Amino acid sequence: MQLCYVDESGTAERLTEADRDQQPVVVIAGISLPERKLTKITHEWIELKATFYPSIAQSGHGWLDAILQDIKGAKIRAGFRAKASVRQKKNSVGLLDGILRLLERYDAKIMGRIWMKRLGVENQDMSMHGAALQHICGAFDAGLPAGERGMVVVDSQTYQHNHKLAHSMFTQRFGRDPKHCGLANSRKGRGPGEDWAWRATG
């Protein structure tokens, strides 16, 4: 089994000149990994986080609780600013380098879509997410090793958001010209096909 984890960075809110802190892009991407290597990958990821942010490893009641502590993109980006301390720069560069080496070591694949927002223009959130998820599922399915199935794990949002995106994948899989046939059905939804081919996770 191959797994593909999907998440987004940025929001579809309108880009305005008044707010200098807005992200000018929306990125929706997936990373595919072999399920049989998931335990090793998870342990190495926790070790990597603890190396550059030791306080993470000390939180909670056990070593595995470190997975609950997020390292937000804003914290990493802070290490590349002109006023960043030496420690911030070292942590940001070291963590990103470690992540890429980890993904490369396990032959991970990255696929997704990037939107550059235009000033003052409304962005269609569902259209962006739907198109990106369909693209990611298509690329993931096409790259599955012979004889293997795949499952897409999508970061959960609102129920309506999840429902509409899952239905968009359902129509592709079970339409007249079926697509993504290598992806397994999680059968987690409340209705037929509601969570087809993916599992929304909080």
Note the CATH architecture for domain 2-201: 2-Layer Sandwich (3.30)
Which residue type occupies 152?
Answer: V
In this model, does residue 202 exceed pLDDT 60?
Answer: no
Which tens digit of pLDDT belongs to each residue from 70-86?
A: 888 888 888 888 888 99
**pLDDT above 70 coverage of the chain, percent:** 85
